[in-house]
């Protein structure tokens, strides 16, 4: 952030990168203050399969996500499932993956990857003369791929039904 932009954001940056503080640190990406409403768009999801579970912050859906994960692995013969969490839902995604692992007696493998996702917000001005603008922001994401251990998988699916 250059010193012109820093001054408008309520801070002054010195040439050495130090901050004469009014709010924040030099070089931070501050969200632009809007004179109006910020409407957050839904995140863009890549193409999904039935084995993808998207976790939100809603705790009431935890048990349904748990049943679905177990059903996909044990009954539907999916080789793996992927649990996705974005932002504040990362903790819920981790909790779900650990709960699924515990309910299956630890007989699953987990591969965890993290990512940074670009999200877009629409800035809707209060007065009608200004145009709607768009701002970008970054958010953390987690993807947890779970699969039954090969020995467990062969025991479950080799039995005649």
Full-model pTM: 0.72
- Please compute, for residue 101, the number of CA atoms within 13 A of its CA located in the half-sphere on the CB side: 18
Please tell me whether residues 81 and 20 are part of one structural domain: no
Token pair in block for residue 119? 């999200």
127 and 74 in one domain? Answer: yes
Q: Which residues lie across from 112 on neighbouring strands?
A: 144
Question: Is the CB of residue 53 less than 8 Å from the CB of residue 59?
Answer: no
Do 76 and 142 share a domain, yes or no? yes
Contact 121, 145 (CB under 8 A): no
User: Do 63 and 91 fall within a single domain?
Assistant: yes
- Are residues 48 and 105 both part of a single domain? yes
Confidence of residue 80 (pLDDT cuts 50, 70, 90): very high
Give the CATH number, domain containing residue 43: 3.30.110.20
pLDDT at 96 over 70: yes
pLDDT-derived band of residue 7, with 50, 70 and 90 as boundaries?
very low
Domain housing 5? 1-30
* Residue 7 burial (C-beta neighbours within 10 Å; 0-12, 13-18, 19+): middle
CA distance 80 to 148: 7
* pLDDT tens-digit series, residues 15-60: 444 433 444 444 444 555 546 788 888 888 777 899 999 999 988 8
pLDDT for residue 14: 42
Task: Tell me what pLDDT residue 109 has.
Answer: 95
Contact, 52 vs 84, CB < 8 A? Answer: yes
Considering the domain architecture, whether residues 127 and 88 belong to the same structural domain is answered as: yes
- For residues 110 and 77, state if they share a domain: yes
Cα(10)–Cα(16) distance, integer angstroms: 18
Domain count, the chain: 2
What does the pLDDT read at residue 69?
96
Same domain, 17 and 75: no
Q: How far apart are CA 132 and CA 141, in angstroms?
A: 28
Same domain, 22 and 81: no
**Same-domain pairing of 99 and 142:** yes
Same domain, 55 and 88: yes
Task: Please give the pLDDT value at position 73.
Answer: 94
Same domain, 14 and 66: no
Mean pLDDT value across the chain: 80
């Amino acid at each position: 952030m250059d010193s012109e932009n820093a001054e408008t954001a309520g801070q002054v940056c010195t040439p050495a990168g130090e901050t004469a503080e009014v709010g924040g640190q030099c070089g931070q990406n501050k969200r632009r203050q809007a004179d109006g409403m910020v409407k957050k768009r839904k995140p863009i999801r890549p193409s999904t399969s039935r084995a993808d579970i998207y976790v939100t912050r809603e705790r009431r859906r935890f048990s349904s996500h748990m049943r679905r994960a177990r059903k996909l692995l044990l009954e539907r013969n999916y080789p793996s499932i992927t649990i996705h969490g974005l932002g504040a839902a990362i903790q819920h995604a981790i909790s779900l993956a650990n709960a699924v692992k515990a309910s299956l007696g630890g007989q699953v493998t987990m591969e965890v990857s993290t990512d940074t996702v670009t999200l877009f917000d629409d800035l809707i001005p209060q007065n009608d003369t200004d145009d709607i603008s768009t701002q970008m922001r970054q958010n953390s994401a987690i993807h947890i791929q779970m699969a039954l251990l090969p020995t467990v998988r062969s025991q479950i699916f080799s039995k005649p039904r």
